Amino acid sequence: MAEIDILENKRIVLGVTGSIACYKAIDLASKLTQAGANVDVILTRSAQEFISAITFRSLTHRKVITDLFDAESEDPIEHIALAKNADMIVVAPATANILAKMKYGFADDALTATILATTSPIVVAPAMESNMWANNATQENITTLIKRGVKFIGPVEGHLASGGSGYGRFESVDSIISGIQNILEQTTDLKEKHIVISAGGTQEPIDAVRVITNRSSGKQGYALASAAVSRGARVTLVTAPTALPDPPGATIVKINTAREMLKGVTDAVKDNGDALIMAAAVADWESDNQSKNKIKKTAGENTMSISLKQTPDILKAMSDEKIIKIGFAAETENLIENATEKLKEKKLDMIVANDVSSKDSGFNVDNNRVVILDKKGSKTELPLISKLQVADHIMDRLSELL
Ligand SMILES: Cc1cc2nc3c(=O)[nH]c(=O)nc-3n(C[C@H](O)[C@H](O)[C@H](O)COP(=O)(O)O)c2cc1C
């Protein structure tokens, strides 16, 4: 087992679901408690068919939750308190059923309601018969959950309770504890840091109804905000209009134009900012002669021209700030050359370059293929992965820089 100190005083919600591997969760609860964690166990109705609450209560010295509607409970909405205060929610063993319920956002018992209400990291250790595991339904559920940032530990191949051997066996308790420790280390590494992130494509008005904008969806910036929140950071997301839901746990500053973004970013950085990640696609140009009213068509004139002037350069405006600065370079040609030039010119610590001309990555899709360059000259090429996975890589690097 790895070092145990990271578990000291951590609040772990341990959700136990109705698998034959339930009895191993008793050992898990006991070892987490011995390592200094406060373990709040939630048992599903099915789990209670296999094991009893009194066993967990005796080992964790804490109340065990078995019912969403517990009239005797001191806090009638204790699932919300648990969800808010937890450093991590661990579901072990996790049935095929709970994975399906998590995918669809069910909240029909104490465990699912707690999972839905939390912004803390969620870790699951599945256990099930190999055909249940291999079933497309289960695999699709897992793919969605991984995309949302849920971490999986196991299962492994080995003897199954159903007889025979296959994939779906509960990971060993010691490996689960090591996994929890690693994820806790990763998820608290930005604690007490204020990370300012910009996202979306700014909109520069031409007249009362028209704007100049770009195809940025904001997805990469929002993924960065979620990743930073889940690692314990205080996050301010300065965002141009997007169709995305606000990432839970971040302070959201909504803006439209590059000038408004400059103000939003400056205010946030001045508020004890530690790092700025400019993932927004900020317009380079704004109208030089904005019309208050809608510009009308003029009979007989087939063309019209708009005079443009440069918008303020937000990263340049931050050049005196003693913070870590990470930029993005969305390019359609000469990716590395252009990104390297931007890295130097804007005195960035790191730049994330992506080729937005390819259909499967970049603007308005869920995946990204990026190259990370830093001021020391290192170059890391990442394969095509989800924007949340890209965000996690960037947070790993930021954590080292901070
Ligand atoms: C003896 C027995 C063992 C079971 N073992 C598992 C298992 O290992 N994994 C699993 O996904 N389901 C297993 N099930 C089925 C689940 O208990 C069932 O899907 C239940 O609805 C899960 O509810 P829960 O996810 O709310 O705990 C088992 C059922 C029985 C009767």
Q: State the pairing for strand pair 38-43/194-199.
A: unpaired
Q: Is the CB of 96 under 6 A from ligand 1?
A: yes
Identify whether the C-beta of residue 180 lies closer than 8 Å to the C-beta of residue 88: yes
Specify the 3-state DSSP secondary structure of 30. helix
326-383 pLDDT, tens digit per residue, is 999 988 888 899 999 999 999 999 999 988 777 776 666 778 889 999 999 999 999 8
Residue type at 227 in one-letter notation: A
Q: Whose CA is nearest to atom 6 of ligand 1?
A: 19
Q: Helix and strand tally (H, E) in the chain?
A: 14, 21
Q: Is the CB of 160 under 6 A from ligand 1?
A: no
Q: Which helix (H) or strand (E) holds 259?
A: helix 258-270
281-332 pLDDT, tens digit per residue, is 999 999 999 999 999 988 888 898 999 999 999 999 998 899 999 999 988 8
Phi, psi torsion values for 100, nearest 5 degrees: -65, -45
pLDDT at residue number 170 = 96
CA-CA-CA-CA torsion sign (207, 213, 217, 221)? negative
pLDDT at residue number 310 = 96
Residues of the chain with CATH 3.40.50.1950: 5-187
**Tokens of residue 227, six digits:** 């990743």
Compute the distance from residue 372 Cα to the ligand 1 centre, in Å. Answer: 44
Catalytic residue among 97, 214, 338, 367: 214
Q: Pick from 77, 31, 26, 27: which is nearest to 52 by CA?
A: 26
Q: Is the CB of 48 under 6 A from ligand 1?
A: no
Q: Is the CB of 17 under 6 A from ligand 1?
A: yes
Specify the 3-state DSSP secondary structure of 49. helix
Q: How far is CA 326 from CA 40, 71, 222, 269, 351, in A?
A: 39, 51, 15, 13, 6
Compute the distance from residue 331 Cα to the ligand 1 centre, in Å. Answer: 50
Q: Is the CB of 46 under 6 A from ligand 1?
A: yes
| Residues forming a β-bridge with 308 | 287
pLDDT at residue number 71 = 65
Q: pTM for this structure?
A: 0.67
DSSP letter string, 124-188: EEE---HHHHHSHHHHHHHHHHHHTT-EE---EEEE-TTSSEEEEEPPPHHHHHHHHHHHHHHHT
Question: What residues in the chain have per-residue pLDDT under 70?
Answer: 1-4, 71-73, 75-77, 361-364
Q: Pick from 310, 241, 231: which is nearest to 275 by CA?
A: 231
Compute the distance from residue 51 Cα to the ligand 1 centre, in Å. Answer: 13
Separation of alpha carbons 225 and 72, rounded Å:
39
Q: Whose CA is nearest to atom 19 of ligand 1?
A: 97
Separation of alpha carbons 219 and 243, rounded Å:
9
Does the active-site annotation cover 289? no
Q: Is the CB of 20 under 6 A from ligand 1?
A: yes
Compute the distance from residue 31 Cα to the ligand 1 centre, in Å. Answer: 24
Q: Pick from 9, 4, 67: which is nearest to 41 by CA?
A: 67
pLDDT at residue number 1 = 46
Q: How far is CA 6 from CA 81, 85, 182, 268, 399, in A?
A: 22, 17, 9, 31, 17
In this structure, the dihedral spanned by the alpha carbons of residues 167, 170, 171 and 176, taken in order and rounded to 10 degrees, is: 150
Q: Whose CA is nearest to atom 4 of ligand 1?
A: 19
Compute the distance from residue 170 Cα to the ligand 1 centre, in Å. Answer: 13
pLDDT at residue number 186 = 79
Q: Whose CA is nearest to atom 28 of ligand 1?
A: 19
Q: Is the CB of 47 under 6 A from ligand 1?
A: yes
Residues of the chain with CATH 3.40.50.10300: 194-401
Question: What ranges in 325-375 are assigned the alpha helix state H?
Answer: 335-345
194-401: CATH topology? Rossmann fold (3.40.50)
Q: Whose CA is nearest to atom 1 of ligand 1?
A: 20
Q: Is the CB of 44 under 6 A from ligand 1?
A: yes
Q: How far is CA 323 from CA 192, 228, 276, in A?
A: 14, 16, 7
Compute the distance from residue 330 Cα to the ligand 1 centre, in Å. Answer: 47
Q: Helices 110-117 and 96-104 meet at what angle, rounded to 10?
A: 40
Separation of alpha carbons 217 and 244, rounded Å:
8
Tell me the three-class secondary structure of 368-398, residue by residue.
ECEEEEECCCCEEECCCEEHHHHHHHHHHHH
Q: Whose CA is nearest to atom 5 of ligand 1?
A: 19
Q: Pick from 314, 351, 349: which is nearest to 329 by CA?
A: 351
| CATH H-level superfamily of 5-187 | Flavin prenyltransferase-like (3.40.50.1950)
**Tokens of residue 201, six digits:** 């494509």
pLDDT at residue number 127 = 97
